[in-house]
Structure 1
Amino acid sequence: MTEQQGSAKTGFSYSVSARVAAPAARVWEAWTTPEQYVQWFGAKPGSVALDVRPGGAWKATLVFPDGTEFPLTGSYVEVEQPRRLVMSMDVPGAEPGIMVADFADAAEGGEAGTDVTLSQTSPTAEERDQSKQGSEMLLQQLSAYLG
């Protein structure tokens, strides 16, 4: 997994990447099909709704190992199948944000697969660090699911 982080005048940004052992079309399906999304995202069954089109809404309720539920909602800002999703995110206790998910064919090392990069800008360093940790967890779960 690779990462970058920085501080911009408009907020605190990060970018994390991982190579997933699946073609971009398969990664896209995992992100945009509720039945697949619930299997790797850590969402409560029945809580996922994905209207994958610009302006379409999405929602999912994360369930942590201790049983704590964490509702997430947002909308799709940009949809470029199978390469890019830009989503607004409303997270309890945090300012609304934008997450960018890019899916690129693996080009280095002779490995097949897709390089998945998640990027986000947050208003505070603390929110950035929490979001970055969540994105790293998502990449690990996605890799395990598509393994």
Structure 2
Amino acid sequence: MVKWSADLRAGGRWAVTVREADGRELPANGEFLDIEVPRRIVQTRLYAWDHPTLGRRQTTVAWLLEPTAAGTRLTICHGGFAGLAEAAAEHAEGWGRVLGWLQAYLGAGSRVAA
């Protein structure tokens, strides 16, 4: 991730640019649809490039945070893949990778289920 900006409020915009190992930059952006502090964030997501399995279809990501005895449970629901099974599988794999990075960052005591 080489760029990130967010206006973290309902109706606010966000943008990110990811740089791949070959130097290619892949921007994405969207809007925050709902923010219910501290439990939920819902946002749209749209690639500003032609994703190989999704194209430029807008999707929706919901981040759900639930207190537990050991900390916080994070559930990510990423929808908008109707009729695009390959894109859904690819994004599920990507979320698994991202959650693995989060687990590594937080330390071995954390649990991540993708």
Distance 1:140 1:99 in 2: 18
Of structures 1 and 2, the one with the larger relative CO (CA 8 A, separation 6+) is 1
Name structure 2 gaps, 5 residues minimum.
108-114
Percent of aligned positions that are identical: 30
Of 90, 105, 109, the residue aligned with 2:67 is 105
List per-residue Cα deviations over 1:69-96 (Å, max 9, x = no partner): 2111001001011211101000232311
Task: Show structure 1 runs of 4+ deviating over 3 A.
Answer: none
- Structure with the higher fraction of residues in helix conformation: 1
Partner of 2:41: 85
What number of residue pairs does the alignment pair up? 99
Of 23, 36, 47, the residue aligned with 1:67 is 23
Partner of 1:117: 75
Distance 1:66 1:114 in 2: 36
Q: 2:92 matched to 1:132?
A: yes
Name structure 1 gaps, 5 residues minimum.
1-42
TM-score (norm 1): 0.61
